[in-house]
Structure 1
């Protein structure tokens, strides 16, 4: 005859097994299973037709093809890209909102704006860095200096007399120029600000302003046509688009490296398996012939880092550009 104690033990054991089975059944499925099952919003914090927008639309098209769901570009320009980045940071972290962002919004803005409505590390899950955009030091062809060494000598001979063009205080090319002055121990003249690259290039080509740093994308055709003279590039390695130009580092200033970059991120707390799926799809897109062709047309250097590599890169870039902002004394009110 079964004792009451024995029956009780069996009942407890049975209930434990049932509870374990229910708990197992209630465990969430793989978040990436069936993802995506609806359109994905892709925020681009710049206007339609800009280089970043063109890049975003092509990557979005490739993701549409590989993921089987429409990737819809959502242009949100304005306020130094703060508006679009804030929108991306506050979106639901489910993999259905992506953000294209880069140097200015993620690495420079934290040092410029004391009350930025997003934190680049806390509020985003980096997916991959897409491209590197080389800054190129150019001068008007009539300017005497034909090398970095000669430019530095001219600046030392005439301190605070050689003006330079930029896109405004705190812009990447302004800060790159400031750090070049710091590295070379020189003081250039006035920072002559223009609304964009086209205006700045025109003024340097016309001789109204003798020099500037600008993206390889913008200056490449003018250097090749002889309307601008290239002196050096700001990256650690020479650019394949103008391989004859030395780096600033090899021109006498070791360690000098300031370049633009663009990557894709998701809101923080987006499930890891979803991020892995997106990372794989985006890096695969970078290998497509038409994507490579666009990179060549825009003079972009492809990247394609892992999520962890991109996260570490962002941390180092925030520190580097933050120091540049502080050392330059730039303040945005």
Structure 2
């Protein structure tokens, strides 16, 4: 057999190039992505942030054709992960799965935060959102926010205590906003996470709590907890009878909690675009909703600009509230 001529080899090369173009940018650039890709999570394994990241990682492996692993770097409410990430590689091999606490609340409340939430992170895609609620235990005789406010007004030393999952978190400032609007004395009681807070709410050790919705709906159905208000622009399907804070007259409590994926600043825009398309495709998969809705999240998708706008809007929403509260992290 005669060796292929230069002309025939050129034709073959053109044919392969044409095939790659026909298959689209995903196929043509599949080998350009690092393998594996790390999803850095600023919280320990077993938590809800970790759970959401792992569900996405599982689906992304097939979608991107490379390994995708979760790298837990817990510490200081996500601050450790975020600060270390800023100095990371800019080749798409390391992505940060961040939430509103890491990129809005911490920079507004903690002086030791060294990163700029807007300038130091390149948005890739929003992946999930969640809401915060004000709930009372079965020993707190209130069926509405107005009834709860009346209780606090009468006995602030008893009913004015509200549990929060961590000091300086968004729930603390939701409680502050409610107290400020009504001229009440309310005191935040910090816990080390949502699990012990929920346990004390169920046990009657704290009369009220403000936290992410999490798994509380199962206790609502049992009558052990009553939810009086929820953040966000509209009522939740899983809590249709619970009004939003906006409906109740608290227009500054409309911001949802969120999770999003970021790359280091300087990452190739083409890589960011490819990753954005992959995350958006995965977020629409039924298995994602099936896995994260029961733990209080809803799948979310959007462009890098959408995620950047979410961060900026969060800072604009919580900045004035936090400054007005005078809160300073200890």
Superposition deviation, residue 228 in structure 1:
0.7
Partner of 1:54: 51
Contact 1:100/1:262 (8 A) holds in 2: yes
Partner of 2:185: 187
- The 5 A counterparts of 1:1-333 are 33=29, 34-159=31-156, 161-162=158-159, 163-188=161-186, 190-333=187-330
Partner of 1:13: none
> Alignment RMSD, CA only?
1.9
Contact 2:34/2:91 (8 A) holds in 1: no
Contact 1:169/1:330 (8 A) holds in 2: no
Rounded to whole Å, the distance in 1 between the matches of 2:198 and 2:34 is: 46
Superposition deviation, residue 107 in structure 1:
0.4
**TM-score in terms of structure 1 length:** 0.86
Rounded to whole Å, the distance in 2 between the matches of 1:54 and 1:60 is: 10
**3-state SS in 1 of match to 2:247:** helix
Rounded to whole Å, the distance in 2 between the matches of 1:207 and 1:159 is: 16
Contact 1:102/1:260 (8 A) holds in 2: yes
**3-state SS in 2 of match to 1:250:** coil
**3-state SS in 2 of match to 1:238:** coil
Rounded to whole Å, the distance in 2 between the matches of 1:129 and 1:298 is: 18
Contact 2:175/2:188 (8 A) holds in 1: no
Gaps of 5+ in 2: 1-24
**3-state SS in 1 of match to 2:45:** coil
Contact 1:44/1:74 (8 A) holds in 2: yes
**Stretches of 4+ aligned residues off by more than 4 angstroms:** none
Superposition deviation, residue 156 in structure 1:
2.7
Gaps of 5+ in 1: 1-29
Partner of 2:19: none
Name which one, 1 or 2, has greater alpha-carbon Rg: 1
Report the number of matched residues: 303
Superposition deviation, residue 254 in structure 1:
3.4
Contact 2:165/2:211 (8 A) holds in 1: no
1:11-31: CA deviation from partner (whole Å, max 9, x where unpaired): xxxxxxxxxxxxxxxxxxx99
Rounded to whole Å, the distance in 1 between the matches of 2:218 and 2:181 is: 28
Rounded to whole Å, the distance in 1 between the matches of 2:309 and 2:229 is: 27
Contact 1:133/1:259 (8 A) holds in 2: yes
Rounded to whole Å, the distance in 1 between the matches of 2:212 and 2:221 is: 14
Contact 1:148/1:248 (8 A) holds in 2: no
Rounded to whole Å, the distance in 1 between the matches of 2:287 and 2:210 is: 29
Contact 1:197/1:218 (8 A) holds in 2: no
